Amino acid sequence: MSVYLATSTEIPQYLLEAGWASTGQQIAITQPRRISAISVASRVATEVGSVLGDEVGYSIRFEEVSNPLRTRIKFLTDGMLFRECMRDPLLSKYSVIMIDEAHERGAYTDLLLGLIKKIRRKRPELRVIVSSATIDAKNMLDFFANGEAHDEATILSLEGRTYPVEVSHLGKPCSDYVKAAVDTVWSIHLNEGQGDILVFLTGREEIDRCLQTIADRLLDLPKGSLPLELLPLHAGLTSEEQIAVFTPTARGSRKCIVATNIAETSVTIEGVKYVVDCGFVKVSWRGKVSGCCVSILTLLSPVRSGTPVQPNLKHGHTCDGPHLTSFRDAKGRASRSCLAGQMLPLVYIVGPQIPASYDVAGVGTDRHHSLYIAAQGPRHRQSCQL
Return per-residue pLDDT of the chain as tens, 386 residues: 333 446 788 899 999 999 999 888 999 999 988 888 888 898 899 999 999 999 999 999 888 999 999 999 999 999 899 889 888 989 999 999 999 888 777 778 888 888 898 899 899 999 999 988 777 888 888 888 776 656 778 888 876 656 777 888 887 878 899 999 999 999 999 998 889 999 999 889 999 999 999 999 999 998 888 899 999 998 888 878 888 888 888 888 999 999 987 766 657 788 888 999 888 877 766 667 777 777 676 776 654 444 444 444 455 555 655 656 555 444 444 444 555 666 666 666 666 555 545 566 654 344 433 333 333 333 333 332 22
Considering the domain architecture, whether residues 176 and 278 belong to the same structural domain is answered as yes
Query: Is residue 13 in some structural domain?
Result: yes
Considering the domain architecture, whether residues 319 and 351 belong to the same structural domain is answered as no
Query: Is residue 153 in some structural domain?
Result: no
User: Which domain, by its residues, includes 53?
Assistant: 6-145
Distance CA 49, CA 45 (A): 6
Burial class (CB in 10 A: 0-12, 13-18, 19+), 170: middle
- Output the DSSP codes for 241-264: HHHGGGSPPPTT-EEEEEE-GGGS
Query: Is residue 335 in some structural domain?
Result: no
Considering the domain architecture, whether residues 366 and 279 belong to the same structural domain is answered as no
Distance CA 55, CA 53 (A): 7
Q: Using alpha carbons only, give the angle 89, 91, 96 rounded to the nearest 5 degrees.
A: 150
Query: Is residue 33 in some structural domain?
Result: yes
Residue positions counted in the chain: 386
Tell me how many helices (H) and strands (E) the chain has.
13, 14
Query: Is residue 123 in some structural domain?
Result: yes
Considering the domain architecture, whether residues 316 and 344 belong to the same structural domain is answered as no
Spatial CB neighbours of 198, under 8 Å, sequence gap ≥ 6: 257, 259, 263, 269, 272, 274, 275, 276, 315
First to last CA, the chain: 50
pTM reported for the whole predicted model: 0.72
Q: How far is CA 139 from the centre of its chain?
A: 20
Query: Is residue 292 in some structural domain?
Result: yes
Q: CATH number, domain at 78?
A: 3.40.50.300
Query: Is residue 287 in some structural domain?
Result: yes
